[in-house]
Each structure stands twice: as structure tokens, then as C-alpha cells.
């Protein structure tokens, strides 16, 4: 399903990645999934956390630039061709995957991937006809915290 | 004191009844300027060795200066002179006559110590009362003073004048944006006084906190202590729903209160009955005519503890004497777009921070905090514009940020005629002193 992802601007220099992680740790916020996109000079830390409003506030109060984006969590069979099954209807609908990354946790033989689309609703519609299972927010976080 | 210039607090004024000194007929003003200048020249010559030596070297006596028309005969005083005289070398009165010491903020080098007698503080308060009156500030206003309190002249300069006007003063001093916004909202501030770059921070912070500045009682901003552009004024006025006034001053002369905008916003009226302005060619030192752009030179006409004769401010502007719709006869100086010291040369091209500011504003319609860092590696000069990422600029997509960086770089190159690297940096990572933006950081070995 759709749920919010936080993106944090960080400079690509030693010690700059640890600071937001420290702040979240001190606030008792667990990072459920994350991905780091980097250029030579800076990077974007993308985070999935349960209490994203609190995380955003903590980070912004400490001077970080944070934005909120809606992403999709989609369950993928953890076997050859699992990802293809998800990407096919997307490609058929002419939609572009902006970026994607995987959750650390798995459920049985299912992996959970995070997808960023320009238009998440269009992607949802495209996937509806296929057999691709979505993960709803509650299930996602309960699984993440059980670990 | 026999040298005491003839200035008292005769100019009591308010928003409804502005100071008579702002409206003097030209001839009356000139007479007053001439008389005050003669006093100041006599005082400087008799009490300050530097002036006496300079007069002697030029073959002049105080009697050679009968009025402001004779000013061009006198040598200039420069910032270097003030540094050489540090700390007490330019005092014209003994320390026991001095009741306050301030210091210049040191954005461009070693600080300068500035003494005030009781009469000097009265002059300063009068100048700042007139400055605030020009912006329509008066009794009934709640003035949030976010200029730094301390050695910096901004804080106390605004403070005493706002009190003298009968306004309610909130002595916030600088820093702590979140608290400033809470106070602004809870105390019902109607006037904010701070540096324009600090106010931009307040705009960003208010946005982050979800507080609409436009919905508060704030109606006027009195901004000074650093050059700021017309684009920045538009941004401030739109974001906060206020009228933004530019004020000008410098510690070496008095602090804030040398010149200020009236509601016409067509240049800053110089309080020239107290501080006499000239414009010179910064290269030759020759006086320039009306409307010609050059370096501002100021002479104090009513100060005792540290009289200044022809002080080179380093600020680039022009003087206009045409009639102002507000009725004031005081000449106007154009808004200072940059200082002589601000200009930097990259690969042979003169670059002004104001050009970069305009380019940055053109891209996202907002002015981020920025700094220009000059370095040299293996004899190759590099200039990098570091830009703090604003909410409007930030995206979760690398492609968008890369494109933004390229666009910024292209706009800057178009504006200044030479390629400068643009680097996005984290918010609040660039240095600020006294809330003043430090625009150019020269780390080239030759810059010392």
C-alpha cells in the first residue's frame, strides 16, 4: 500500500550519515527500511519509520532538511522471476520506477520492496489486475518490530 | 566641554510628528552642517594626534575648513587607520568622559573599538529615533529586537531608540529562530528588527513549524547591517506580509542610524545634519557628482569621543538630491548593493555577491543562505557557491537535485560571466556572525 517515506539531505562527507541516525536512535525511533542515494557531493537518505511525524520533527529541529514522499510497498516472490512479475504490469502501463529498495525483513518466501513512482495511484491501478500482493502499513510495521 | 557640538535632544519626534531636522530648507541645513563641521574639525585636530599629523602633512590648519565645501581638502581616514590606532588611538576625549564602548563586528578583519560620550549616545538615540520614525514605528508598537546585544551596535542602538519612542521593546538579541517565532506570535510583535539574512532564516523556520507569519500582527521589518537585494525585499514582504525597510549605518560612524528608508522606498535618507556624505571614485579618491556611483565617505558632524573626518566606508552607492515625495529634504543614498571588500576576482573576472544572489533568486523564487568559498589548488583558482538546501529546493530524487544544481550553476555563470561550481549543503551549515551573513570566504593562500 501507499505510505510515507522520509528523505533527508546529507552532505557526502565523513560523519554526516551518522548524525540523523543518532538523532532517531535517541528518540527511540527504529528505522524499518532505508536506502542511500549518493552523488559525489551529497546524498539523500530515504527512511521508512513507523512514527514518521515524530522522526521528521526530530530531524528538522536539529537542522536537517526533510521531505515526505508517498511510496508503495509491494510483496515480491523471493525466487527467480519474482521481480519480473511486478515490473511487467508497470512497464505495460508505461510507468517509470523512480527508484526502489528492499526491506530488511522478509515474510516467508516473500520479500518486500519499496517503489517510488511519479504517480503512485497510477502504479496501483496498473498492478491491480495482476496477482501482485501489496503490504499494508500495519502488517509492515508489525512485522518489522517483531524481528 | 568647549568643543561640544551643538546637538541636543531638540528633535523629539514620533511617527505622526517627524523630526524637523528631516525637513530643513537647504540653506539652513547647509549652515548647520558648516557650523558643526568646524567644531568637529577643531576637536579632531586638537585632540587626536593622527588628525593633527595629517593636517600638518597637508599644510592645513582647522581654519582652512570653513564648511563642507572644503572637505575635499582633507585626507581620508581608512579602516587601516582605525586598525593601526587600535584600541584607543583615535579617542578625542579622556576615558572618564566615555560612558559606553562598542566594537565593529569584524566581518572584514580586526575589530575597531568605538567610544561614546553621554552626548554621543544622545545623538545616536536621536538618529535611531528618526530612523524608526521613518519606518512608521512608534508608541503602540511592539518591537522585537533581534539584532545582537553586546559589542555589536545593532542591539542597543535599536533598543534605546525604540524605548525613547515609547514603543514596547522585546530585547531578544539574535539567534534561536524557533524561540523568536514563538515570541513574535505570543507577544504580538508588530515590528521586527534584525539582519535580512536572519529574517530569511525566520521565514524558513516558521514554515517548518507550520506557523504562518502572514497571520501574525507583524507589519514592519527594519533590516540592516548587511547589503540585501530588491529581490530579497520582495521575498520577505510576500512571505511575511510586512513592509521591509532598509537601514544603514556602521559602528565607526555611530552604528545603525546613518541613513534609512522612508515609506517611498526610493533610496535611504542620510541624516546629513549629523553625518555628512560624499561619494568618491574608489580608485582615484576624487569626489563624484550627484547620481554617480562610487564609494561612500562619511564625516561625523556631532560626535565627540571619536570624531571621523572623511571615513572611507567601503560601501558602494550614489547620492540623489531630488525631492522625495515624503517631503524630507535629506539627500538619499541608493541601497548599498555591495562593499568594496565584497568584490572578488576569479580568473580575472570581478564578481559581486549581489549578482550571485539575483541568480539564486531567479531559480526557485527564494533566496537560500549561501556563501562563496575561494580556494586555490596547484595554482588554479576555484570558486564554489555553497547553497543551503531550502524546503522549496529539496527533493527525494537525485535527478531533480542534480538538475537544480546545474541550473543554479548556469544562472550564476550567466550573471557573473565566469563558471563557479555550485554545491548544495545542509541547512545551517554556513557560518554567520552576529546574524550577519558572511558572503565570501577567501581561503586562497595569497589572501593571508
Q: pLDDT of B371-384, one tens digit each? A: 989 888 877 778 89
Confidence of residue B435 (pLDDT cuts 50, 70, 90): low
Are B396 and A42 a contacting pair at CB < 8 A? no
> Three-class SS string for chain A?
CEEEEEEEEEECCCCCCHHHHHHHHHCCCCEEEEEEEECCCEEEEEEEECCHHHHHHHHHHCCCCEEEEEEEEEEEECCCCHHHHHHHHHHHCCCCEEEEEEEEEEECCEEEEEEEECCHHHHHHHHHCCCCCECCHHHHHHHHHHC
Report residue B442: phi and psi, to 5°: -95, 110
Domain extent for A122: 71-146
pLDDT value of residue B436: 66
Domain count, chain A: 2
Confidence of residue B124 (pLDDT cuts 50, 70, 90): very high
What number of C-beta contacts closer than 8 Å exist between A and B? 53
pLDDT value of residue B109: 54
CATH number of A52's domain? 3.30.2130.10
Q: Are residues A76 and A63 in the same domain?
A: no
pLDDT value of residue B6: 43
Q: Are residues A11 and A48 in the same domain?
A: yes
Q: pLDDT of A50-61, one tens digit each? A: 999 999 999 998
Write down the ipTM of this complex. Answer: 0.81
Using CB atoms, pick whichever of B178, B398, B426 lies closest to residue A37. B398
Are A44 and B425 a contacting pair at CB < 8 A? no
pLDDT value of residue B340: 67
Q: State whether the Cα torsion B312-B315-B318-B324 is positive or negative.
A: negative
Using CB atoms, pick whichever of A37, A42, A67 lies closest to residue B424. A42
pLDDT higher than 90, residue B368: no
Q: Which of A54, A69, A84 is the last residue of a domain?
A: A69
Q: pLDDT of B290-324, one tens digit each? A: 999 999 999 999 999 999 999 999 898 999 988 89
Please report how many Cα atoms fall inside a 13 Å half-sphere around the Cα of residue B151, on the Cβ side: 11
Q: In chain A, which residue's Cα lies nearest the Cα of B389?
A: A65
Looking at A61-70, B255-264, B318-327, B334-343, which range is the least confident one?
A: B334-343
Helix (H) and strand (E) counts for chain B? 10, 23
Q: Are residues A63 and A39 in the same domain?
A: yes
pLDDT value of residue B5: 44
Predicted model pTM: 0.73
Does the CB of B186 have a partner CB in chain A at under 8 Å?
A: no
Q: Are residues A100 and A112 in the same domain?
A: yes
Q: Which of A27, A50, A69 is the last residue of a domain?
A: A69
pLDDT value of residue B313: 92
Smallest CA–CA separation between A73 and chain B, in Å? 17
Using CB atoms, pick whichever of A42, A46, A61 lies closest to residue B396. A46
Q: pLDDT of B59-103, one tens digit each? A: 999 999 999 999 999 999 998 898 888 888 899 999 999 999 998
Q: pLDDT of B391-433, one tens digit each? A: 888 999 999 999 999 999 998 888 888 888 899 999 888 877 6
Residues in chain A with CB shorter than 8 Å from the CB of B402 are: 39
Q: Which of A11-15, A113-117, A136-140, B125-129 has the highest mean pLDDT?
A: B125-129
Q: Which of A34, A49, A69 is the last residue of a domain?
A: A69
Domains of chain B: 1-342 (3.40.50.12780), 343-447 (3.30.300.30)
Q: Are residues A78 and A60 in the same domain?
A: no
Q: Are residues A127 and A79 in the same domain?
A: yes
- Strands of B243-250's sheet, edge to edge? B168-170, B142-145, B191-194, B220-223, B243-250, B255-261, B268-270, B332-333, B319-320
Contacts of A61 (CB under 8 A, 6+ apart): B178
pLDDT value of residue B2: 42
Report residue B308: phi and psi, to 5°: -120, 125
Amino acid at each position: 500500500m501507499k505510505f510515507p517515506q522520509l528523505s533527508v539531505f546529507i552532505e557526502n562527507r565523513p560523519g554526516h550519515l551518522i548524525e540523523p541516525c543518532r538523532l532517531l536512535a535517541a528518540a527511540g525511533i527504529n528505522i524499518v527500511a532505508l536506502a542511500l542515494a549518493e552523488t559525489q557531493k551529497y546524498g539523500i537518505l530515504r527512511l521508512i519509520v513507523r512514527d514518521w511525524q515524530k522522526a521528521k520533527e526530530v530531524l528538522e529541529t536539529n537542522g536537517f532538511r526533510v521531505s515526505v514522499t508517498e511510496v508503495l510497498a509491494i510483496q515480491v516472490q523471493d525466487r527467480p522471476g519474482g521481480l519480473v512479475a511486478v515490473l511487467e504490469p508497470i512497464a505495460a502501463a508505461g510507468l517509470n520506477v523512480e527508484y526502489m529498495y528492499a526491506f530488511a525483513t522478509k515474510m516467508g518466501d516473500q520479500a518486500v520492496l519499496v517503489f517510488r513512482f511519479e504517480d503512485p495511484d497510477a502504479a496501483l491501478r496498473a498492478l491491480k489486475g495482476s496477482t501482485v500482493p501489496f503490504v499494508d502499513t500495519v502488517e509492515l510495521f508489525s512485522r518489522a518490530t517483531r524481528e | 566641554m568647549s568643543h561640544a557640538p551643538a546637538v541636543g535632544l531638540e528633535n523629539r519626534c514620533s511617527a505622526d510628528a517627524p523630526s524637523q531636522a528631516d525637513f530643513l530648507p537647504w540653506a539652513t541645513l547647509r549652515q548647520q552642517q558648516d557650523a558643526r563641521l568646524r567644531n568637529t574639525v577643531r576637536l579632531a585636530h586638537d585632540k587626536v594626534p593622527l588628525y593633527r599629523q595629517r593636517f600638518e602633512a597637508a599644510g592645513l590648519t582647522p581654519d582652512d575648513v570653513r564648511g563642507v565645501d572644503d572637505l575635499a581638502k582633507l585626507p581620508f581616514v581608512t579602516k587601516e587607520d582605525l586598525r593601526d590606532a587600535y584600541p584607543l588611538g583615535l579617542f578625542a576625549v579622556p576615558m572618564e568622559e566615555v560612558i559606553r564602548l562598542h566594537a565593529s563586528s569584524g566581518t572584514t578583519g580586526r575589530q575597531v573599538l568605538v567610544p561614546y560620550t553621554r552626548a554621543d549616545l544622545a545623538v545616536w538615540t536621536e538618529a535611531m529615533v528618526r530612523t524608526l520614525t521613518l519606518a512608521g514605528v512608534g508608541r503602540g508598537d511592539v518591537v522585537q529586537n533581534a539584532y545582537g546585544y553586546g559589542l555589536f551596535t545593532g542591539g542597543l542602538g535599536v533598543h534605546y531608540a525604540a524605548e525613547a519612542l515609547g514603543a514596547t521593546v522585546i530585547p531578544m538579541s539574535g539567534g534561536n529562530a524557533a524561540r523568536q517565532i514563538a515570541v513574535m506570535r505570543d507577544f504580538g510583535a508588530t515590528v521586527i528588527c534584525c539582519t535580512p539574512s536572519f529574517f530569511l532564516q525566520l521565514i524558513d523556520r516558521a514554515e517548518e513549524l507550520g506557523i504562518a507569519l502572514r497571520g501574525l500582527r507583524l507589519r514592519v521589518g527594519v533590516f540592516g547591517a548587511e547589503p540585501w537585494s530588491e529581490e530579497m525585499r520582495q521575498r520577505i514582504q510576500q512571505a511575511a506580509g510586512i513592509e521591509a525597510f532598509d537601514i544603514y549605518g556602521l559602528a565607526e560612524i555611530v552604528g545603525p542610524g546613518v541613513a534609512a528608508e522612508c515609506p517611498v522606498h526610493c533610496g535611504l535618507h542620510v541624516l546629513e545634519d549629523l553625518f555628512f556624505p560624499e561619494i568618491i571614485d574608489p580608485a582615484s579618491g576624487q569626489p563624484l557628482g550627484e547620481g554617480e556611483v562610487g564609494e561612500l565617505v562619511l564625516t561625523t558632524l556631532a560626535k565627540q569621543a571619536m570624531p571621523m573626518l572623511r571615513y572611507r566606508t567601503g560601501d558602494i552607492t550614489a547620492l540623489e538630491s531630488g525631492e522625495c515625495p515624503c517631503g524630507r529634504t535629506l539627500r538619499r543614498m541608493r541601497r548599498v548593493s555591495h562593499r568594496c571588500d565584497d568584490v572578488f576576482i576569479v580568473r580575472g573576472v570581478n564578481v559581486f555577491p549581489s549578482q550571485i544572489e539575483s541568480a539564486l533568486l531567479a531559480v526557485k523564487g527564494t533566496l537560500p543562505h549561501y556563501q562563496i568559498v575561494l580556494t586555490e589548488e596547484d595554482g588554479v583558482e576555484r570558486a564554489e557557491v555553497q547553497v543551503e538546501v531550502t524546503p522549496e529546493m529539496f527533493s527525494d530524487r537525485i535527478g531533480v537535485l542534480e538538475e537544480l544544481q546545474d541550473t543554479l550553476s548556469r544562472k550564476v555563470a550567466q550573471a557573473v560571466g565566469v563558471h563557479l561550481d555550485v554545491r548544495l549543503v545542509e541547512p545551517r551549515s554556513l557560518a554567520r556572525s552576529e546574524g550577519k551573513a558572511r558572503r565570501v570566504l577567501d581561503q586562497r593562500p595569497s589572501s593571508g
